[in-house]
Amino acid sequence: MSHPRTSVRSLMAATLSASVVAGSLLAAPGAAAAAPVASALDLTSKNTAFVERDGARLTLDGQAFRASGTNIYWLGLDENVGGVDYPTYFRIKDALDTASRMGVNVVRSHMMTSTGQDDANPLAIMPRLGEYNDEAFRTIDFAVAYAGSLGIRLILPLTDEWAYYHGGHRDFTTPLGLESADFYTSPDAIAAYQEYVDVVLSRTNPLTGVKYVDDPTVLAWELGNELEGMTLDWINAQVDFIAERAPQQLIAAGRRFDIDPDTLAAPDLDIVDVHYYPPTAERVSADAATVTEAGKVYIGGEYASTAASSALLNAAASDENVSGMFFWSLFGNNDRGGLVPHDDGFTLHYPGETDRMRESVGAIEDFGRDLGLPIATGPADAPLIVSIEQNNAINRISWRGSAEAQGYLVQRSVDGGAWSDLNAESGAALSPVTDLESPAGAAYRVVARTADGSETASDTVEPDGATVTADPLSDWRIVSGHSGAELVAPEGALAVDATATAVWRAAGIRAAAFRLDDAEGVEVSVSVDGSTWTTVPSESREVDGSSEVVASTIEGEYVRVSWARGSVLERATVWSAAPRVALFDPLDDFSRTSAHSGSLSFDTGNPAQFMGDTSRLKRDAADGAESVTWAYDGISGADLIAFYWPDQPVIPLTLSGSSDGEQWRTLDPAIDGGDGNWKRYVYRLRDLQDVNHLRVSWDGAAGEVWTPQLSQISLYSPNAPELGAPGAVTADTPADGASDIRATPAFRWTPGTDAAYYRFTLATDAALTDVVASATGLSSPSYRPAIDLQPQATYHWRVDAVNGLGSTSSSTWSFTTAARPTSDLVIDDFESYVDDAALTQAYVRNTGGGAITPTLRAQQGDHAGVFTYDLGAPGYAGVIRTLTEPLSWFGYDGIGLTVDAPVGATVTVQFVASGGYWETQVPVEEPGAQRVELGFEDFAPPAWAGESRLDLSEVTQIALYVAGTAQGAVVVDDIAALAPTVAPGPGPTPTPEPTGTPDPTTAPTAAPVEDTGQTPASGEGSPASGAAADPSGSLATTGSTLPAGVAVIGILLLLTGAVSVVLRRRRTRS
């Protein structure tokens, strides 16, 4: 397919992918309530018959029906859009298209769980008890209708055990002055819940004309998500209530982690839903047998997507007792480029951002094939270039992906020449891509590739020295004003009045283009103040079956388009002046700020967890409105990077602007990102007016003081000096001539004036010819290369600052690494504990596991730790210990420890280094105490942890897992980091490639631990020949990942038959 070129000079504008907008759809989020509007999107349902229950099985048209499922909880109301809001129709469509592409035939969604109290959640179906919001059904109506058009069925919980952003069962008790447990017994609470259920079930979907209760797309109504307090009487009453209204649809119930016996006893309940974090094939099979023996249909309604594997899903596919497995949870493409971030640790993006995620996707697709389900195929929808931004004359291209694409290429053509690739084929998460050359006359397109090799290209966009913004009208967020129009799905705006208008605002607008289904009566006008408008000349041309109206020579701060009733505005594209970076602050001190509150400090620890950033600004207290302020004349925009810890509640940052530094107004940034260990988010502000002061504040929000942390900020202003060649940088860390450097440092340098990005070179010689690491396109003045440096070696490094006018090189600096250790490093030899109480104080039970009691064994003057356990229902038991300072294992070869465990058991050794989890497994083949020595090359991240780079400079935790008997004792002694026994060879050592662990150990659940200031215990961190210190140290549950400055060393004994026995190489020392 050919696509038009977009440029200011050629009067051509960017085109949307081949989505055609029309049909019968409600207005989108943010629009006033109105009657359905027209759309040509075909919403004819493929679901013509209801799924039925036949004993403990599901059937469809008399044939067995089994589900390859996912959870897309946010289809009605979303928390991943920089706050709570309705998702766009594009995102709903994209997620369901993605599910279909993976072979998913049933989606479980919390979209009918939509309640609140006293208008605290005004977007909910029920914002307050007994009051209902018809607007909230708009996204739900579309999700149900579009799922039906794909042949996807739905399971819909009607409330929730947990008080999440979308509400839960407390919304039916608290307003009545009742306790949460009264939800299951109080007649008033039950009546309130049933009234809500009746409102939902009785709704007629205006897109299909079918009542929800008459729609075969709804496979089942679930009484609630993970309800913990259900009684048999309550279940029976609710089943009867729903069955009376929805006799052709099924009814499900369940609680988290195990089977509620009352669900098995309820005679008319159809489906029992069990959840797993993590799942095992044995547990799923046992639960499915229990449920089906009771005559109920079994589904695994949630399981951790990180555990999706052939071992798990092949077993489920071959077990006819398993009617469905639903991974948690699926997210798709973001409206403004990249992928939608979510930080619960179980987010899955298609086709996978990492090798492990791609393996999970493949296992899920194979599960669907094993069930005989079709995998959707076909060419990808065309990507959409949503923006091209300039940073000091360097272009950055952002695009919105499509559900079917396996990968993308960003391509450039200069003056109409051949296309060249700017990147290797990669996923949508790569957006944006920076053109490191950005030559004059450059034009760009994005090519989507599918698994079968087919390609679909976006329209061509030529920035011509401007910033380009494309608005596909998925919502009204980019529009600064509109009237007389309703949004339609999946995008576009239909004129419902005689004339509709929409306005966009940007500094120095130069051109605009508008795509419509009918250009008759279209008028373009501009304004400098948003009040007085001047009509400007425009031209119209046909593009891919639509009309494109282009105004190419305009000047103003606002552009407005008017179009006639019945026409759909499909897209607007605006060219405006490229913003200039007026101030860049890497936040390594307060020198570039104009004001700040007192309880703020800079965190310089654990740079590997912050993408190499060696300094971030954080709070020191959570009980005040902490803030930091910058000043510049005429701030027009800003980019702020902040890091959030994923296991803590999000503490939103507030961005405010002021003209005089006295009167402040809250600003509304666009927020994207969410990648990395600590989640990296970018707050973007554009087109600001009358702002000379910008403030970022925490506003006294409760939560841990160390999250979020501010990484850097760029301020834009038309008053910035004219762009010149970039200024040279100077070294910060490591300092020139530094010695005794342990591990690969996080290199940091001062920002170069007018630099768009940096090039980094590291070599073993001063001439920089023997290069061991290099990188380009670095946006921050810091970098940590993914290599391990050799001990006792000298390295040289240089940084080039680059912008669109050229580059400037720094001096060449050098440093020397530390020597290799010559003796083992004792981690814990158990000699300093005076009694059992001291050991118990140091090693605290992980309360999530079974019972475990630490005791000391003293034999011939030698102490060891004995951990007597009873796995019980959790299937594991564990203890953990913390330190106040991290240990460096730089230069060590591996870990050694003495273990006495039952023959046939598998011992898993795990540690946390610089925020990354690593583990390996060895079998116990002989009785009695054995010395086990493991090389670091044998370790890989566990299945539930993200992929990581092995960085031994800050080791914060060590854990032991044992698979085997339900009761017993494990003896542990002499844990040490092993000094090398072979002389090192020349050159850097590459980081071991993660190979994955077949079955997951227990995922971390604990929050980071505060520094107590206590000293290390029992010889930890001391040479083997040194004297031991007194035992002390703070304590935490297993799996803690720490903020900077806090260290954990622990031993976790996990004993469970669910962990596979995997033999890894045991290192033998000569």
- Which residues on neighbouring strands pair with residue 485, listed in sequence order? 495
Per-residue model confidence (pLDDT) at position 746: 86
| Strand residue runs (E) in 123-180 | 153-157
d(C-alpha 88, C-alpha 76), whole Å: 10
Residue 454: band (very low, low, confident or very high) from pLDDT cuts 50, 70, 90: very high
- Least confident range from 76-85, 279-288, 814-823, 1059-1068: namely 1059-1068
Q: At what angle do helices 187-201 and 232-245 cross, to 10 degrees?
A: 30
The three-state secondary structure class of 365 is helix
* Segment 569-594 mean pLDDT: 94
* Segment 964-982 mean pLDDT: 85
Per-residue model confidence (pLDDT) at position 676: 55
Residue 896: band (very low, low, confident or very high) from pLDDT cuts 50, 70, 90: very high
Residue 1060: band (very low, low, confident or very high) from pLDDT cuts 50, 70, 90: very low
Contact 914, 744 (CB under 8 A): no
CA–CA distances in Å: residue 782 to residues 228, 711, 758: 49, 11, 9
Q: How crowded is residue 931: how many other Cβ atoms within 10 Å of its Cβ?
A: 11
Inform me whether the pLDDT recorded for 1037 exceeds 50. no
Residue 982: band (very low, low, confident or very high) from pLDDT cuts 50, 70, 90: low
Inform me whether the pLDDT recorded for 36 exceeds 60. no
Per-residue model confidence (pLDDT) at position 874: 63
Per-residue model confidence (pLDDT) at position 647: 59
* Segment 75-100 mean pLDDT: 92
Measured in whole angstroms, how far is the alpha carbon of residue 132 from the centre of its chain? 32
- What lies within 8 Å, CB to CB, of 62 at 6+ separation is none
577: tokens are 């002046």
Per-residue model confidence (pLDDT) at position 19: 30
Per-residue model confidence (pLDDT) at position 1052: 47
* Segment 885-912 mean pLDDT: 88
58: tokens are 């599901």
Inform me whether the pLDDT recorded for 1039 exceeds 90. no
Per-residue model confidence (pLDDT) at position 468: 98
- Least confident range from 254-268, 868-882, 902-916: namely 868-882
Higher pLDDT, 288 or 743: 288
Residue 553: band (very low, low, confident or very high) from pLDDT cuts 50, 70, 90: confident
List b or e across 697-722, with b for residues whose CB sees 16 or more CB atoms inside 10 angstroms. bbeebeebbbbbbbbbbbbbbeebee
Kindly report, residue by residue over 802-826, the tens digit of the pLDDT.
999 999 999 999 999 999 999 999 9
Residue 354: band (very low, low, confident or very high) from pLDDT cuts 50, 70, 90: confident
620: tokens are 């020191």
Kindly report, residue by residue over 232-252, the tens digit of the pLDDT.
999 999 999 999 999 999 999
783: tokens are 């970098």
Radius of gyration over every alpha carbon of the chain, rounded to an integer in angstroms: 30
d(C-alpha 101, C-alpha 112), whole Å: 24
Per-residue model confidence (pLDDT) at position 39: 52
Query: Is the domain covering 731-817 a CATH 2.60.40.10 domain?
Result: yes
Inform me whether the pLDDT recorded for 613 exceeds 70. yes
- What lies within 8 Å, CB to CB, of 234 at 6+ separation is 184, 185, 190
Per-residue model confidence (pLDDT) at position 903: 83
* CATH number for region 59-370: 3.20.20.80
Every domain of the chain with CATH number 2.60.120.430 lies at: 825-982+994-1055
Straight-line distance from the first to the last Cα atom of the chain, in angstroms, rounded to the nearest whole number: 65
Block residue for tokens 């943010």: 30
Residue 873: band (very low, low, confident or very high) from pLDDT cuts 50, 70, 90: low
Every domain of the chain with CATH number 3.20.20.80 lies at: 59-370
Residue 666's identity, in one-letter code, is T
Kindly report, residue by residue over 502-540, the tens digit of the pLDDT.
999 998 999 999 999 999 999 999 999 999 999 999 999
- Determine if residue 673 is left, alpha or beta; phi over 0 gives left, psi from -120 to 50 gives alpha, anything else beta: left
* Segment 567-573 mean pLDDT: 97
List b or e across 1038-1060, with b for residues whose CB sees 16 or more CB atoms inside 10 angstroms. bbbbbbbebbbbbbbbbbbebbe
Inform me whether the pLDDT recorded for 890 exceeds 60. yes
Q: 189 phi and psi, to 5 degrees?
A: -65, -40
Peptide bond into 278 cis (omega under 30): yes
Contact 721, 709 (CB under 8 A): no
Query: Is the domain covering 825-982+994-1055 a CATH 2.60.120.430 domain?
Result: yes
> What dihedral angle (degrees, nearest 10) is formed by the CA atoms of 86, 91, 93, 96?
-100
Kindly report, residue by residue over 775-788, the tens digit of the pLDDT.
999 988 989 898 88
Q: Which range scores top for mean pLDDT: 77-86, 534-543, 958-967?
A: 534-543
Per-residue model confidence (pLDDT) at position 915: 78
CB-neighbour burial class of residue 727 (10 A; exposed 0-12, middle 13-18, buried 19+):
middle
Contact 612, 605 (CB under 8 A): no
d(C-alpha 958, C-alpha 913), whole Å: 9
| DSSP state letters, 211-258 | EGGG-TTEEEEES-BT-SS--HHHHHHHHHHHHHH-TTSEEEE--SSS
Per-residue model confidence (pLDDT) at position 878: 78
Given 3-state DSSP classes, what are the helix, strand and coil percentages for the chain, each rounded to the nearest 5? 15, 35, 50
Contact 272, 259 (CB under 8 A): yes
**Predicted model pTM:** 0.81
Question: If you average pLDDT over every residue of the chain, what do you get?
Answer: 85
Kindly report, residue by residue over 144-196, the tens digit of the pLDDT.
999 999 999 999 999 999 999 999 999 999 999 999 999 999 999 999 999 99
Inform me whether the pLDDT recorded for 114 exceeds 90. yes
- In 119-221, which residue ranges form alpha helices assigned H by DSSP? 137-150, 187-201
Inform me whether the pLDDT recorded for 422 exceeds 60. yes
How many residues in total does the chain contain?
A: 1070
Per-residue model confidence (pLDDT) at position 646: 65
Residue 1043: band (very low, low, confident or very high) from pLDDT cuts 50, 70, 90: very low
Kindly report, residue by residue over 658-699, the tens digit of the pLDDT.
999 999 999 988 877 665 557 788 888 988 989 999 999 987
Per-residue model confidence (pLDDT) at position 937: 94
117: tokens are 């109290």
- Tell me which long-range contacts 848-853 makes (C-beta under 8 A, separation of at least 24): 848/874, 848/1002, 848/1005, 848/1037, 848/1038, 849/874, 849/876, 849/877, 849/878, 849/1002, 849/1054, 850/874, 850/875, 850/876, 850/877, 850/1055, 851/877, 852/877, 852/878, 852/879, 852/1053
- Least confident range from 79-93, 292-306, 468-482, 814-828: namely 79-93
| DSSP state letters, 918-983 | EEEEEE--SSS-EEEEEEGGG-B--TTSPP----TTSEEEEEEEEES-SEEEEEEEEEEEEPPSSP
d(C-alpha 828, C-alpha 852), whole Å: 19
CB-neighbour burial class of residue 542 (10 A; exposed 0-12, middle 13-18, buried 19+):
exposed
Residue 33: band (very low, low, confident or very high) from pLDDT cuts 50, 70, 90: very low
690: tokens are 């009358």
18-47+467-578: CATH class? mainly beta
Inform me whether the pLDDT recorded for 26 exceeds 70. no
CATH fold group of domain 581-716: Jelly Rolls (2.60.120)
d(C-alpha 16, C-alpha 382), whole Å: 8
Residue 23: band (very low, low, confident or very high) from pLDDT cuts 50, 70, 90: very low
* Segment 284-310 mean pLDDT: 97
> What dihedral angle (degrees, nearest 10) is formed by the CA atoms of 465, 7, 684, 583?
0
Inform me whether the pLDDT recorded for 701 exceeds 70. no
- What lies within 8 Å, CB to CB, of 424 at 6+ separation is none
Residue 859: band (very low, low, confident or very high) from pLDDT cuts 50, 70, 90: confident
Kindly report, residue by residue over 47-59, the tens digit of the pLDDT.
999 999 999 999 9
* Segment 577-601 mean pLDDT: 93
Every domain of the chain with CATH number 2.60.40.10 lies at: 377-464, 731-817
Inform me whether the pLDDT recorded for 1038 exceeds 70. no
d(C-alpha 919, C-alpha 160), whole Å: 36
Every domain of the chain with CATH number 2.60.120.260 lies at: 581-716
The three-state secondary structure class of 312 is helix
Residue 1031: band (very low, low, confident or very high) from pLDDT cuts 50, 70, 90: very low
Block residue for tokens 């309705």: 86
377-464: CATH class? mainly beta
* Segment 729-748 mean pLDDT: 92
